[in-house]
Amino acid sequence: MNKLENTELLAPVGCFENLVTAIKFGADAVYLGGNLLQLRANNVGFNMDDIFKAVNYAHQHGKKVYVTVNSFARNDEILVVSDYAKELKNVGVDALIVSDLGVMDTIKKASPDTEIHVSTQANCTNFVTANVYYNMGAKRVVLAREMTIDEIAELRSRIPNDMEIEAFVHGAMCMAYSGRCMISSYLTNRSANRGDCSQPCRWKYSLMEKTRENMFFPIEEDERGTAILSSHDLKCISFLDKLYDAGVRSFKIEGRMKTAYYVATVVNAYRQMIDGNYDLDVLDKELECISHRPYSSGFYFGDIKKNHNNDGDYIQGCKFVGVVLEKNEDMISVEVRNRIRVGDKIEVVSPGNIGQSFEVNDIIDKYGKHKEIANFPKEIICIPCALELKSGDLLRISVN
C-alpha cells in the first residue's frame, strides 16, 4: 500500500509510560482521560498535573493530546464542566472528546476556542447529525462503529470540507450499540456508561430455551459453556486505504487500559502500514503477537458475521519479557518484565524496525553474577546483543 498522506494515527494512553511509548513508536496524537467524565474508571485517569506533563512532553515531540470528557453528565457533574474545560485549555490540551450535548454546549460557552471532537459514544451515523454537531462548533466527528465504508464516504461528501472524520481501526469492540450497554449495570451494579464495565459480555454462558418450540440457538461450547456475547476485536490494517479513500483522516486505536507493550506493537504496525514501509503479511503477524480476541473487520463491509466462534478467551502469540534501558558496546541493559532464560530467542519491538531477533547466551545480574534465569519483575540484567537497540525498545518471546 502507498503512503497515506495527511493522516493522523491516534493512540490510547492510560498512563505516562504508555504516552511516551505511543509517541516513540509513531503516534501523531494520543487520547487520555482526566478526572471528570472520562469513561475509564480503573486507574487510567490523569490528574491535572499529569495532563500538564503529558501535554508538554507531546508538544515537545510535535504531537497532540486529546482528553476524553465523553461520559454523559449528571446534574452535579455538569455544574463543574465549565471550570474543567478552562483548566484543560490552560494546560494546552489540543481537543476535548465529548458525547453529551449539554457538556458540548457548556464547554463552547466557557472556552469558545476549545476544539471539540464528537465521541463515538454520541452514535453519529449520518451526515445530518454530523452537520448539526459542526454547527454547534465541533471540529471532528468520531463515527459510530456501526457505519460501513460506503456510508462513511457518503457522509464525507455531505459535510463541510473542514470537518474531520475519525474512525476506530483496531481494538476491542462492545457487543452493544456504539458501546451503550447496560448488562454490567444490571448484573454487577458497575456501569459501562460511567467507565466501570465489568465486561460480562466476555463471561462464559450456557443458553437454554425451553418455552419456544422450534426455536434453535446453534452454539458451539465445551464443558465451560460459551461466551455467546463476546465480540471479536477490530483489525483494519488490511484496508486502511479504503477508509482513507472514504474520507477518514484520523485512525484511532482502542485500548486505554492496555499495556505499553500492546500500545507499542499496535502503533508500530499501523505506523508502518500508513507509511507504506512493510508488506501486509509482516504487519499481520505483528498484530498476532499481542493479547487479543479473534479479529474481524467490524461493520465496515456490512453486517458482522454471526458465526464468530469466539469463546471469550484471549489469543497471544508472544510474551512481553523486558524493556531495553541502554546499549553499551555489545551489551544491553534490560528491565525484566517476565522470565528470561539463557537459550531464549528474543524478538525485538523497535520503532520502524520489524523482524529483529537474537538468542540469549548469557545473563548477568547487577552484581556481575552469571545466571541461567532472570525471573524477578523489574530486575535489571545485562545480556550480550550485537543488534543496534535503543532505550525503550521492547523484548518478547514467542509462545507458539
Buried b (16+ CB within 10 A) or exposed e, 285-308: ebbebbbbbbbbbbbbeeebeeee
pTM, to two decimals? 0.89
Tell me if 121 sits within 8 A of 197, measured CB to CB: no
H helix intervals, the chain: 16-24, 48-60, 75-78, 81-90, 101-110, 127-135, 149-157, 183-188, 240-246, 260-275, 280-287
The number of beta carbons lying within 10 Å of the beta carbon of residue 50 is 17
pLDDT given for residue 231 in this prediction: 80
Report the chain's terminal Cα–Cα distance, integer Å: 29
pLDDT given for residue 38 in this prediction: 75
pLDDT given for residue 178 in this prediction: 66
Please state the domain extents for the chain. 8-176+230-296, 318-398
Which CATH fold would you assign to the domain 318-398?
Elongation Factor Tu (Ef-tu); domain 3 (2.40.30)
Which CATH fold would you assign to the domain 8-176+230-296?
TIM Barrel (3.20.20)
Q: How far apart are CA 244 and CA 316, in angstroms?
A: 29
Q: How far apart are CA 142 and CA 120, in angstroms?
A: 5
pLDDT tens for the chain, 400 residues long, are 788 999 999 999 999 999 999 999 999 999 999 988 876 555 567 999 999 999 999 999 999 999 999 988 999 999 999 999 999 999 999 999 999 999 999 999 999 999 999 999 999 999 999 999 999 999 999 999 999 999 999 999 999 999 999 999 999 887 666 666 777 776 787 876 666 777 776 676 655 566 766 555 555 555 555 556 778 899 999 999 999 999 999 999 999 889 999 999 999 999 999 999 999 999 999 999 999 988 999 999 987 665 455 666 778 899 999 999 999 999 999 999 999 999 999 999 999 999 999 999 999 999 999 999 999 999 999 999 999 999 999 999 999 7
| Phi then psi dihedrals of residue 240, to 5 deg | -60, -35
**Residue 337: which of 389, 393, 283, 385 has the closest Cα?**
393
Return the SS3 of 98.
strand
Tell me if 290 sits within 8 A of 265, measured CB to CB: yes
Q: How far apart are CA 61 and CA 316, in angstroms?
A: 32
Distances (CA, A) of 332 to 13, 375, 397: 27, 17, 17
Tell me if 163 sits within 8 A of 136, measured CB to CB: no
pLDDT given for residue 400 in this prediction: 72
Which amino acid type is present at position 110? A
pLDDT given for residue 219 in this prediction: 58
Tell me if 219 sits within 8 A of 204, measured CB to CB: no
Tell me if 182 sits within 8 A of 197, measured CB to CB: no
**Residue 250: which of 329, 331, 139 has the closest Cα?**
139
Q: Which residues contact 320 (CB under 8 A, 6 or more apart)?
A: 259, 261, 337, 338, 394, 395, 396
The number of beta carbons lying within 10 Å of the beta carbon of residue 364 is 16
Domains 8-176+230-296 and 318-398 agree in fold: no
Length of the chain: 400
| Phi then psi dihedrals of residue 369, to 5 deg | -85, 135
**Residue 83: which of 47, 55, 111 has the closest Cα?**
111
**Residue 284: which of 239, 348, 350, 351 has the closest Cα?**
239
